[in-house]
Amino acid sequence: MTDMIRVLIADDHPIVRDGIAAVLATQPDLEIAGFAATGQEAVNQTSALVPQVVLMDLQMPKLNGVQATAAIRAGSPEVRVLVLTTYDTDADITAAIDAGAVGYLLKDTDRDELCAAVRTAARGGSVLASAVAAKVLNRLRGDAADNRLSSREIEVLGAIARGHSNKQVARVLHVSETTVKTHLLHIYTKLGVADRTSAVTTALERGIIRLG
């Protein structure tokens, strides 16, 4: 039997919570662990219910989504937080990722993409909505016209290529695991890939990193 992925839905609008729950309920491997109407409830419910994934809105009372994400990651680091919001500004995206979110989706995401994103998050992957990825890409292109990887990004990718986990990379480079994830998201965008395996393959093909 397929292992169930338990999801906590955190949104201050009951209709939105019910709508998301209805979508997830159509999937045989996704299970609703619970609901939260405030950021503080999201933190408390995560601690009590220990879901694999939290779908987090950004604009909520009693801790906003970024603050709740940071608190969840601090108290329950094994839980994956996936932002689901209507806001797509650079500041919102950066703040959410820096707080520890493993992905960022917009509420106009179709149901198949949402369900796939939940599965990816549960497996430890990172997910960016196409519109969000485009914004990140445009910003990075503005910051570096040639779009080359920074020396630290090359260090991170080299360690990943040698089979290190995010936690191991963080320990070797003396940075937080969240910082490693942020570097990886930047790497994916710069290389035009969607996951760590493709990033390593592309970087090896281009001679950006070498093994041995």
Q: What six digits make up the tokens of 164?
A: 């290190």
Strands 5-10 and 30-36 turn out to be: parallel
Task: Give residue 24's pLDDT.
Answer: 96
Q: DSSP for 1-55, please give it.
A: -PPPEEEEEE-S-HHHHHHHHHHHTTSTTEEEEEEESSHHHHHHHHHHH--SEEE
Q: What is the number of other CB atoms lying within 10 angstroms of the CB of residue 102?
A: 26
Task: Give residue 2's pLDDT.
Answer: 55
Residue 197 and residue 48: Cα distance in Å, rounded?
A: 34
Q: What six digits make up the tokens of 4?
A: 């169930």
Q: What six digits make up the tokens of 30?
A: 């996704």
Residues in the chain: 212
Could you give the strand order of the β-sheet that contains 30-36, starting from the edge strand earlier in sequence? 30-36, 5-10, 53-56, 80-85, 103-106, 127-128
Task: Give residue 136's pLDDT.
Answer: 60
Task: Give residue 147's pLDDT.
Answer: 61
Q: Which of 65, 54, 117, 121 is nearest to 93 (CA)?
A: 65
Beta strands in the chain (DSSP E): 5-10, 30-36, 53-56, 80-85, 103-106, 127-128
For residue 107, the 8-state DSSP code is: T
Residue 146 and residue 105: Cα distance in Å, rounded?
A: 27
Q: Which of 86, 97, 110 is nearest to 136 (CA)?
A: 97
Main-chain phi, psi angles of 25, to 5 degrees: -65, -15
Q: What is the pLDDT along the chain (212 residues), one digit of tens a residue?
A: 458 999 999 999 999 999 999 999 999 999 999 999 999 999 999 999 999 999 999 999 989 999 999 999 999 999 999 999 988 776 788 788 888 999 899 998 899 999 999 999 999 888 888 767 666 655 555 554 446 788 889 999 999 999 999 999 999 989 999 999 999 998 988 888 888 898 999 888 878 888 76
